[in-house]
Amino acid sequence: MLYALALLSAAVYGAADFFGGLASRRVSAIAIVVISQCAGLIALLLILPFLPVSSPAAADWMWGAAAGVAGGAGVALLYRALAITSMAIAAPITAVCAVTLPVAVSIALGERPGTGPLAGIALALASIVLVSQQNTPSPVAKGLSPVERSWGIATALASGVAIGLFFLAVARIRPEAGMWPLVAARCVSVGLFAMLAVVTKRSLRMPASVIAIAVAGGVLDMLANVLYLVASRYGPLSIVVTLSSLYPAGTVLLARMVLGERLSALQVVGVICALVAVLLIVGSR
User: What average pLDDT does the structure give for the chain?
Assistant: 81
Identify the sign of the CA torsion 153, 154, 158, 164.
Answer: positive
- On whether the CB atoms of residues 32 and 20 are closer than 8 A, the answer is yes
* Stretch 90-101: mean pLDDT: 80
Question: Hey, what's the torsion of the CAs at 17, 78, 70, 126, to 10 degrees?
Answer: 110
* Stretch 56-77: mean pLDDT: 91
**Which is more confidently placed, 20 or 241?**
20
Summarised one tens digit per residue, pLDDT across range 177-188 is 989 999 999 999
What type of residue sits at position 154?
A
- On whether the CB atoms of residues 229 and 50 are closer than 8 A, the answer is no
What is the pLDDT, as a whole number, of residue 14?
86
What is the pLDDT, as a whole number, of residue 238?
62
Among the ranges given (63-67, 132-136, 143-147, 262-266), the one the predictor scored with the smallest mean pLDDT: 132-136
Q: Is the pLDDT of residue 69 over 80?
A: yes
Question: Where do the structural domains in the chain lie, given as residue ranges?
Answer: 2-283
Of residues 7, 2, 8, 21, the one with CA closest to residue 251: 21
**Which is more confidently placed, 233 or 154?**
154
* Stretch 105-129: mean pLDDT: 73
Q: Cα-flanking dihedrals φ and ψ of residue 119, to 5°?
A: -65, -35
Rounded CA-CA distance 133/127 in Å is 10
The pTM of the full predicted model, rounded to 2 decimals, is 0.79
Q: Is the pLDDT of residue 57 over 80?
A: yes
Q: Binning pLDDT at 50, 70 and 90, where does residue 12 land?
A: very high
